[in-house]
Amino acid sequence: MPTTTAGPDRQQAELSPDELQRYSRHLPLPEFGRKGQRKLKNASVLLVGAGGLGSPAATYLAAAGVGRIGLVDFDDVETEIERHEMRLTSDNALDVIDDYDVVADGTDNFPTRYLVNDACVMTGTPNVYASIFRFEGQVSVFATEDGPCYRCLYEEPPPPGLVPSCAEGGVLGILPGFIGTLQATEVLKLITGIGEPLIGRLLMVDAKTMNFRTLNVPTNPECPVCGDDPSVTELIDYEAFCGIGDSSSENGTTDDVSDTDQIPEISVHDLKQRRDAGDAPFVLDVREPYEAEIASLGADQLIPVDQLEDRLDELDANPDEEIVIHCRSGGRSAKATELLREKGYDASNLAGGVLAWSDEIDPDVPQY
Which residues have C-beta within 8 Å of that of residue 337, sequence separation ≥ 6? 263, 264, 325, 347, 348, 349
Angle at 190 between CA 185 and CA 10, to 5 degrees: 135
Backbone dihedral angles phi then psi of residue 68, each to the nearest 5 degrees:
-140, 125
What distances in angstroms separate CA 58 from CA 48, 65, 335, one per listed residue? 11, 11, 36
Count each helix (H run) and each strand (E run) in the chain, helices first: 13, 13
Angle at 245 between CA 243 and CA 246, to 5 degrees: 135
CA torsion 359-360-361-363 (nearest 10°) is 30
Please identify which of the residues 223, 226, 242, 327 carries the catalytic annotation: 327
Fill in the DSSP letter of residue 234: S
- Classify residue 243 as exposed, middle or buried by CB count within 10 Å of its CB (0-12, 13-18, 19+): middle
CA–CA separation, 197 and 214 (whole Å) = 12
Backbone dihedral angles phi then psi of residue 176, each to the nearest 5 degrees:
-60, -40
Residue 242 annotated as catalytic: no
Q: In terms of DSSP H, where are the helices of 124-211? A: 150-153, 166-169, 175-192
Residue 166 annotated as catalytic: yes
Q: Do the Cβ atoms of 329 and 109 come closer than 8 Å?
A: no
Please identify which of the residues 120, 149, 152, 166 carries the catalytic annotation: 166
Give the catalytic positions in this structure.
166, 327
